Amino acid sequence: MHRLYIEQALSENQLMTLVESQSHYLIKVMRLRQGDEILVFNGVDGEWKARITMVSKKSVMVQALTQTRPQAKPSDLWLLFSPLKPKRQEFLVEKATELGVSCLCPIRCERTSIPKVNSEKMKAHVIEASEQCGRLTIPEIKPLTSLKETLANWPQDRLLLFGDETLTSPSLSKIKLDPEQSTAFLVGPEGGFTAQEFDLLRAHGTGVTLNANILRAETAGLVGLAWLMRHHGINQ
C-alpha cells in the first residue's frame, strides 16, 4: 500500500487535501482512483489508513479511517557531514534516513569542497526515503553551519563522536556508550580535517576509527550510524 508523508494533523474521519505533487503521483503515476486506500503519516500521530474520497484535475482528497500504527518514540541520533557531490550526498541522506537518523546537520569545514546545500531538495529525499522504508518520522534538516560555530553551540548533554581518518583513534567498537545518552556522529570532508579542526574536535568530542582502511565520506557516515543504531538499540 502506498505511503505518503503529510503535514496535517491525523485523526479518525479527518479529511485532507493532498498537495498537487502527491495528487499527481497517486492519480497519474500510480493510477489510483476514488475508493482506493493508502497509508499516511505526519511524524506525530502515527500511521493511518486513508481512503481516496475525491479526485479532480490537480488535487486529491483523502479521509483517515483507522490508525495502523501508533507513533513510536523517535530515535535521537544526529549525523553531521560535510556537503558532498549531489549523487553521493543523495545516497548518504537516503540511507541515513532508512537507518533512522533523527537529524541531518551539514557542516562546513576548511576543506569542504561543496559550498552550499539545497535544503528543499534534501527534504524531498528524506520524505521519499521515509515513505518507502516505513518509518513514522522524517529527519530534521539543520541549515549549513561552520564547524567552529557548530561546536561553539554544542549541547552539553549530547555525545559527539567523529571519524578519524588518520586511524590513530581507538576503534568505535571500543567506545563505551550509554544507550540512554543522546549521540551525534560527525564525518569530515573528503580532504579530511585540518590540524586546527582536530584540536577543536578533540576538545568537544571523541575521535573513532571505523575500519582498517580509510573510508569515503558517505561510507564512513553510514558505518558509524549503523554501529551506533545497533548499540543504542534505537527504533525509528
Assigned C-alpha cell, 78: 544526529
Look up cell 482528497; give the residue. Answer: 61
Residue-wise pLDDT for 129-155, tens only, equals: 999 999 999 999 999 999 999 999 999
Q: What is the pLDDT of residue 234?
A: 53
Q: What is the pLDDT of residue 232?
A: 65
Q: What is the pLDDT of residue 1?
A: 86
Q: What is the pLDDT of residue 214?
A: 84
Q: Mean pLDDT by 10-residue block, N- to C-terminus, for the chain (236 residues)?
A: 94 95 93 96 97 92 97 91 95 96 96 93 96 96 97 95 88 85 93 94 94 89 90 56
State the burial class of residue 126 (Cβ atoms within 10 Å of its Cβ: 0-12, 13-18, 19+): buried
Strand partners, 16: 62
Q: Which domains does the chain have, with CATH numbers?
A: 3-69 (2.40.240.20), 77-232 (3.40.1280.10)
Q: What is the pLDDT of residue 155?
A: 95
- HSE toward the beta carbon, residue 230, CA cutoff 13 A: 8
Residues 191-227 as b/e (b if ≥16 CB within 10 A, e otherwise) read ebbeeebbebbeeebebbbbeeeebebbbbbbbbbeb
> How is residue 100 annotated by DSSP?
T
Assigned C-alpha cell, 142: 539543520
Q: What is the pLDDT of residue 236?
A: 43
Q: How far apart are CA 48 and CA 50, in angstroms?
A: 6
Assigned C-alpha cell, 177: 556508550
Q: Please list the alpha-helical segments (H only) found in the chain.
A: 20-24, 86-99, 119-133, 147-152, 195-204, 217-232
Q: How are strands ordered across the β-sheet holding 15-17?
A: 3-5, 37-41, 47-55, 60-69, 15-17
Look up cell 567523529; give the residue. Answer: 162
- Helices 217-232 and 86-99, interaxial angle, to 10°? 10
C-beta separation of 62 from 53 below 8 A: yes
